[in-house]
Amino acid sequence: MEGLLDFVLRDILTRVGGVDRCVSEFIRVTGTLFPERVFLRYVPELLNGCKTTSGVPVRPQLLGSDVACLADNAARLVEMGAEGIDLNFGCPSPVVNRHRGGSALLEEPELLFQIVAGVRRAVPAHLPVSAKMRLGLHDDRRAEACAQAIEAGGAAELVVHARTKAHGYRPPAYWERIADIRQVVRLPLVANGDIWTVADALRCQQVSGCQSLMLGRGMVANPALARGIRAATQPDPLDAAAADLSWPRLMALISEFWRLVCAHLERDQQTGRLKQWLNLLRRVYPEAQTAFAEVRTFHDPADVERWLSAQALPGVRA
């Protein structure tokens, strides 16, 4: 989720609860062994035991097709304290795909095997190497073969986004194809794609056969989604209460998000990041529609400061 779920939003969303682990934005490897400062730009949590401020582990994700270079960068991340390495075989970006990265690799199961095996050799045995894939590039004919190649390379876990690159993000997600993949591999699978509500999550679990889920835009739109899923599947009064994230409590998180954005991002990026989040929040919160309309013309961070000062912010943190 390049350009959306960065370390700032990871910090905020994991404060709400219900998340077991995060994966970083992809770090694109193209023939270079990166210095530590590059990794820290993407995953500053490396300075905090590779955890968010609320204690949720973050696994760095690498993207590329150069086996040796991916392995070298994975080894450096481990030296910096990474608790594991994730590999991206799902990005649908045309630019990434033209440069033989992301979902383009799903046309080459043998290369998937080589990448996973190379990174697995570079990472100490006690640390996991995981991967994320789509069902394919143009179609899903190679989905099972790709999953088998990733398993054979030594991956400990595989997230399957149940759409091809050609599908993009258009609904539906084909969760039943994840069930097909489960029949040919033994490694743990995680279902992903089109999970916007608790009802979606429960249906995805039933159709895919996976109990573990990866959330993306659904949790950005509804920060309490993971907590709600946990409450529905592992009933706990605390989860049930936290799953009801009121707009005043969310405004407190938005205010904290803005503080972190101003502290860590360039000035010309700041108002755009707030508008980006409010735009997705409109799917769940009617109040976000009003907020988005009020801030959409802002370009000066000072205007946002004045807008936040005018809101009735509660003295609680979710």
Q: pLDDT tens digits for 151-204?
A: 999 999 999 999 999 999 999 999 999 999 999 999 999 999 999 999 999 999
Q: Same structural domain for residues 115 and 193?
A: yes
Q: Same structural domain for residues 116 and 21?
A: yes
Return the beta strands (E) in 107-226 as ranges: 129-134, 157-161, 189-192, 213-214
Mean residue pLDDT of the chain comes to 94
Structural domains counted in the chain: 2
Catalytic residue among 22, 50, 91, 146: 91
pLDDT reading at 209 higher than 60: yes
Residues 33-63: pLDDT tens digits?
Answer: 999 999 999 999 999 999 999 999 999 999 9
Q: Same structural domain for residues 177 and 230?
A: yes
- Around Cβ 2, how many Cβ atoms within 10 Å? 13
pLDDT reading at 315 higher than 50: no
Which of 242, 264, 289 delimits the end of a domain? 242
Q: Same structural domain for residues 258 and 208?
A: no
Is 210 a residue of the active site? no
pLDDT of residue 316: 41
pLDDT reading at 142 higher than 50: yes
Q: Same structural domain for residues 232 and 263?
A: no
Q: Same structural domain for residues 140 and 123?
A: yes
Residues 234-247: pLDDT tens digits?
Answer: 876 665 555 679 99
Q: Same structural domain for residues 292 and 159?
A: no
Q: Same structural domain for residues 217 and 234?
A: yes
- Around Cβ 183, how many Cβ atoms within 10 Å? 8
Long-range contact pairs involving 124-129 (C-beta distance under 8 Å, separation at least 24): 124/78, 127/78, 127/82, 127/83, 127/84, 127/85, 128/59, 128/83, 128/84, 128/85, 128/156, 128/157, 129/74, 129/84, 129/85, 129/86, 129/87, 129/154, 129/155, 129/156
Is 318 part of a structural domain of the chain?
no
pLDDT of residue 229: 96
pLDDT of residue 314: 55
pLDDT of residue 167: 95
pLDDT of residue 4: 83
Q: Same structural domain for residues 190 and 278?
A: no
pLDDT of residue 244: 78
pLDDT of residue 18: 95
Domain that holds residue 301: 247-310
pLDDT reading at 255 higher than 50: yes
Q: Same structural domain for residues 94 and 163?
A: yes
Q: Same structural domain for residues 256 and 218?
A: no
The CATH number of the domain holding residue 279 is 1.20.225.30
Q: Which of 1, 51, 7 is nearest to 216 (CA)?
A: 1
Is 316 part of a structural domain of the chain?
no
- pTM, to two decimals: 0.93
- Contact status, residue 193 vs residue 173, Cβ threshold 8 Å: yes
Residue 60: cis peptide before it, omega within 30 degrees of 0 = no
Q: Same structural domain for residues 124 and 59?
A: yes
The edge-to-edge listing of strands for the beta sheet with 213-214 is 22-28, 58-63, 85-89, 129-134, 157-161, 189-192, 213-214
Is 280 part of a structural domain of the chain?
yes
